Amino acid sequence: MLKGQNISYSHKEFEILKAIDFSVAFGKLIVIVGPNGAGKSTLLSILSNELESTADILFKEKDLKKWKIDELSTHKAKFSQQYNTDIPLFVHDVVLMGRYPYFENKPSSTDLEAVEKAMHQTDVFHLKNRDYNTLSGGEKQRVHLARVLTQLKNDIQNKLIFLDEPLNNLDVLHQHRILETIKEFTAKGNTAIVVLHDLNLTAQFADKVFLMKNGKVKAYDVPEKVFTQKIVSEIYDFPCMICENPVYKKPMIVFGNARKHEAELV
């Protein structure tokens, strides 16, 4: 589906990514995690062809650089952390921007149906006639998620979505709804590559975890093999305990020194 070998990237004299190999199959949710400065967002930008690198990134066995932009935009989409906060449009029109690859002057009924469905998925349909600039940070986040989702509403098989910290500013309910929507997307044979900071949500939803630190990959496997006490404590330079989530039977990470805390209570 997507493959890159020996991915390196430097800015001036600072080495951000160091000889990373990355590959993902169809129908998988891959979550990239790691401490601040690990290179997660930079890697995502290179994999999505938004940042130039000497490495060749293959998408569906074809070099990303050789795809035509208008064709590629119907196969893959990306949600980024930063968006212009001043957009003088109604919510519906912002989401409709995701359909620009499909029409020139006037959206079709198919475009409008895709917009409506995406707004329902991210719970912003009731905001469709609101001025975007009057929304809260979390509401704006969900509007842009809807815009990205509507871009990939088509009959193409094995699509690819990149999401860079999509849960920022979202409450617990919407964090889970967004991740459930992404899982529904991958269940149809599509692939999602997501940057997250919440390790417990990662353990619950990810098919595989790509763990980074200092521009290098430290582990790439299922959550049960990546989220061990030794690995997590070393990567984050902070003590932790690993328990089993009683509901989902996945690893549950509890940060902190339990013995030290018990001693302080005595």
Q: What is the pLDDT of residue 29?
A: 98
Could you report the per-residue pLDDT of 45-56, keeping only the tens digit for each? 999 999 988 888
Mean pLDDT of the chain: 93
DSSP strands (E only) in 50-141: 57-59, 62-63, 76-79
Amino acid at 43: L
Could you report the per-residue pLDDT of 30-81, keeping only the tens digit for each? 999 999 999 999 999 999 999 988 888 999 999 998 999 999 999 999 999 7
Angle at the Cα of 50 from the Cα atoms of 202 and 24, rounded to 5 degrees: 40
Over range 125-139, report the average pLDDT: 95
Q: Quick check: helix, strand or coil at residue 161?
A: strand
Phi, psi of 221 (to 5 degrees): -165, -175
Could you report the per-residue pLDDT of 4-14, keeping only the tens digit for each? 999 999 988 89
- Residue carrying structure tokens 């619950």: 204
Q: What is the pLDDT of residue 260?
A: 61
* Rg of the Cα atoms in the chain: 20
pLDDT of residue 131 exceeding 80, the answer is yes
Question: What is the residue extent of each domain of the chain?
Answer: 1-75+158-224, 86-155
Tallying the residues shown for the chain, one arrives at 266
Over range 203-228, report the average pLDDT: 97
- For the entire predicted model, the pTM comes to 0.93
> Sign of torsion, CA 200 203 206 210?
positive
Burial 152-163 (b: 16+ CB within 10 A, else e): bbeeeebbbbbb
Class of the CATH-defined domain 1-75+158-224 = alpha beta
Cα(170)–Cα(246) distance, integer angstroms: 24
Q: What is the pLDDT of residue 265?
A: 45
User: What is the CB neighbour count within 10 angstroms for residue 105?
Assistant: 4
Q: What is the pLDDT of residue 259?
A: 58
Over range 218-244, report the average pLDDT: 96
Both structure tokens of 63: 């070099």
pLDDT of residue 155 exceeding 60, the answer is yes
